[in-house]
Structure 1
Amino acid sequence: MSTPTPASPVLPRFARPLRVLGYTAVAAVGLLYLLPFVIQLVTGFKTDPDAAAHPLGLLPTTPTTAAYQRLFGLSQSASGVPFLRWLGNSAFVAVFVTAGRVLFDAMAGYALARLRFRGRGVLFGFVLAVMAVPGVALLIPRFLVLNTFGLFDTYTGMILPLMVDAAGIFIMKQFFESIPKEVEEAARVDGAGVFRTFWSVVLPMARPALLTLTILSFQGSWNEFTHFLVSTQSSQYETLTVGLARMVSGGLGGGTQYPLKLAAALLATIPVAALFFCFQRYFVQGANAGAVKE
């Protein structure tokens, strides 16, 4: 009977330095990705001359909140920036779009996963085809449809085309297919219909997928730009993305206005970042949905 060969002493000798080197490299890459956000945060508290002279400076020469005062309408000398209107429009649209996507995508996903009807495979093929088409290719047809039905430059035209998402349908379909059919069969034996089974039995089990879809839907509608660009033209319907684009292009006055632009961009990222960090655990569960089910 042969004796086991002892482990080579060379590997333990280099294990600690390699681990330290790996942690150092990961920390350096993390700081590299964090640097733009730090510059964005610091620049918001600079003056315009200071930001233009020291764009990468990590400490403002003369700290000021003038940019935030102008955004929230607290500055009397500077020209007004309708940031609160942009914020309200974005929040209004994002809430309705997110609610619609969660409801309709879940219903469509359940129908494609469980209901047996003629043309189900063809319909799912169309869903996959829509996912394969770039959104930019549909901008002109979308504008023509909205204009034909009288929905151009309205909140309805901004919200309605975004309330159903092919990717969301696909996510929900895959999750519902991972749920054991015995659960639904037991509900039907107890007298529950299709909708009651979906609403009271299956949907509560899909909580990780629903939260994942909620995060993706809110993020997508909050950051949407091209659709709002072709569906509206009045300033009263401008969202944060459209307003920030107009600000960056110089539509709100001359000069670089780096503090104002970066402060507005920072405030625009806070809701999505907060939502993701609060529900990131459920997001990971939803992304790996279907791996293990009790």
Structure 2
Amino acid sequence: MLFLVLAAVGYFMAMPLVFVISNAFKPINEILKFPPDFLVKHPTLTNFTDLYHLLSGSWVPFTRYLFNTFFIAIAGTAGHVLIASMAAYPLAKRKFPGRAMLFSVVVLSLMFSATVTQITNYMTMSWLGFLDTHWAVIVPAIGSSLGLYLMKQFMEQIPDALLEAAQIDGCSEFRIFWNVVMPVVRPAWLTLIIFSFQGLWGAGGAAGSMYIYSEQLKTIDYALGQILAGGIIRTGPSMAATLLLLTVPILIFVLSQSSVIQTMSTSGMKD
């Protein structure tokens, strides 16, 4: 009975993804049909070829948009994981004056949505001279407080005896962090990679309109939004573009999920 219930819930959660995949291969008459069919009856690749022709007609190459998107997502994710982990380590395992106050500020910052801090971020990026560059999107992502909170809470579960043993063996502080702490908290930073990459991959539209003005620096999400804003005639290419945008985050999640589950089941430690 439990497996049946979980299968039903899993099927319900997978329905939107299956519907997106189905729509990407539907001809225009099936896409506009009402009520819509859940599965495609006459699959076609016309939507993808039309999307290719639309992107080929842009004066900025499609590969440039793709490179911008990957650069922002990879650089922002790597920087966020590294900085959040390095900041979380002393907050979790070292005692110093003001530690509780600093962590309270981190927790308080989680209460504010990105919309509330947009003006402050814009002013900060302008003061740093990062406007109309990729760093205007990457730097705020690196400084996100969610990763710091997640890593700090996970690092607190590491036994102090493990760190003391490393100190007795002559390990430096950085070596303890890099060779002892980071392998133990692998589930945390793998989960953080998933959240950070997905957030940056889908942030192109907003970032393109607020921080980045040059066409050759914009991301694929923003570019597709502009190209496909041609009315109902471009509904088919829009469905194909939606599927392509979902493919990379889903692939990252699938590849990381198995490692997260495996590490969580084998890395439990107790004093």
Smaller-chain TM-score bracket? 0.7 to 0.9
Which of 36, 39, 51 in structure 1 is aligned with 2:19? 39
Give the superposition deviation at 1:72: 3.6
Assess, with a 3 A threshold, how the Cα gap between structure 1 residues 113 and 30 changes in structure 2: closer, same or farther.
closer
Note if 1:200 corresponds to 2:179.
yes
Residue 135 (str. 1) matches residue 114 (str. 2): yes
Partner residue of 1:167? 146
Unaligned runs of 5+ in 2: none
Question: Cα offset for 1:223?
Answer: 1.9
Partner of 2:31: 51
1:178 pairs with 2:150: no
Alignment partner, residue 221 of structure 1: 200
Aligned 1:197-276 pairs, distance under 5 A: 197-224=176-203, 225-247=205-227, 250=229, 253-276=230-253
How far is 1:158 from its partner?
2.1
Cα 1:187–1:29 change in 2 (3 A) is closer
Q: In the superposition, relative to structure 1, how do residues 40 and 83 fare at CA in structure 2: closer, same or farther (>3 Å)?
A: farther
**Could you give the per-residue CA deviations for residues 180-229 of structure 1, whole angstroms, max 9, x where no partner exists?**
11111111112222112111222222222221111122112112253443
CA deviations 1:218-252 (Å, max 9, x no partner) are: 1121122534432112222222332344356x2xx
Map of 1:45-194 to 2, 5 A cutoff?
A: 45-53=25-33, 56-57=36-37, 58-61=39-42, 63-73=43-53, 79-80=57-58, 83-194=62-173
Specify whether residues 288 and 127 from structure 1 end up closer, same or farther in structure 2 by C-alpha distance, changes over 3 A only: farther
Question: Please, what is the CA RMSD of the aligned residues?
Answer: 3.0
> Structure 1's 272 and 75: CA in aligned 2 closer, same or farther, altered over 3 A?
closer
Aligned AA (2:215)? S
| Distance apart, 1:38 and its partner CA | 3.0
Matched residues in 2 for 1:137 and 1:287: separation?
35
TM-score by length of 2: 0.85
Deviation at 1:53, TM superposition (A): 3.8
Shift of 1:133: 0.9
TM-score by length of 1: 0.79
State, as a whole percentage, how many aligned pairs show the same letter.
Answer: 34
Aligned residue pairs, count: 268
Letter in 2 for 1:167: L
